[in-house]
Amino acid sequence: GFQPALDAAVAGRMNALDVTSKIAELPGPEGGTDPHVWLNPLNMAAIGAAIADRLSSAPEIASRQQTFSAAMDALSAEWKTGTQSCEQQTLVVSHDAFAYLAAQYGFIQEGIAGLSPDAEPSPARIAEIARLVTERGITTIYYESLVDPKVAETIAAETGATTALLDPIEGLA
């Protein structure tokens, strides 16, 4: 449902592979399903396993899948260790791309814009986020590599917070 043209292209094809079939998908903030499954390293391990299962006839696939899975497990452990002492559980982000990451490590995502990184937040939403940042003592507002950080920087300047890059790895920067 995220890319209708892709859904139409693979409909009914025997060789299509739904790599999210074994992943607990999260609801999107505006209805439907949140497509950003890859931002949880453990989901990436599951995606890698699904692809490896499909390609299992190649002898080196199992070895490469094990290496990839181990790397994702290590990344997940690094996130868990690196965030366990965080006092703030609210992640203020440019857009609602980080629900899977937030859910995995005990955070709550607050997106300035909606599910689309190109959406312009309303003035009311910007004011609401600024209030949230002030009331909860949030010190960092995250922006993304492919999104203009201007709104995040404006809210940060207004509230005394800082900004930092949190890359959703959606494209080449």
Q: How far apart are CA 77 and CA 73, in angstroms?
A: 6
At 12, which amino acid appears? Answer: G
Using 50, 70 and 90 to split pLDDT, how confident is the model at 107? Answer: very high
Which residues touch 83 (CB under 8 Å, ≥6 apart)? 105, 106, 107
Q: Name the average pLDDT for the chain.
A: 90
Asked if 41 and 98 count as a contact pair (C-beta separation under 8 A), the reply is: no
Residue 168: φ, ψ to 5°: -85, 10
Q: How far apart are CA 44 and CA 36, in angstroms?
A: 11
Its sign, for the CA torsion 14, 60, 42, 163, is negative
Asked if 94 and 119 count as a contact pair (C-beta separation under 8 A), the reply is: no
Query: Tell me, what's the pLDDT at 2?
Result: 65
- Helices (runs of H) and strands (runs of E) counted in the chain: 6, 4
Res 116 pLDDT > 80: no
Res 173 pLDDT > 70: no
* Range list of H helices, the chain: 4-10, 41-54, 59-83, 99-104, 123-136, 150-159
Using 50, 70 and 90 to split pLDDT, how confident is the model at 28? Answer: confident
Mean pLDDT score, 113-129: 87
Using 50, 70 and 90 to split pLDDT, how confident is the model at 129? Answer: very high
In tens, the pLDDT along 57-102 reads: 777 898 999 999 999 999 999 999 999 999 999 999 998 999 999 9
At 78, which amino acid appears? Answer: E
Using 50, 70 and 90 to split pLDDT, how confident is the model at 126? Answer: very high
- Check residues 115 and 165 and name the one with the higher pLDDT: 165
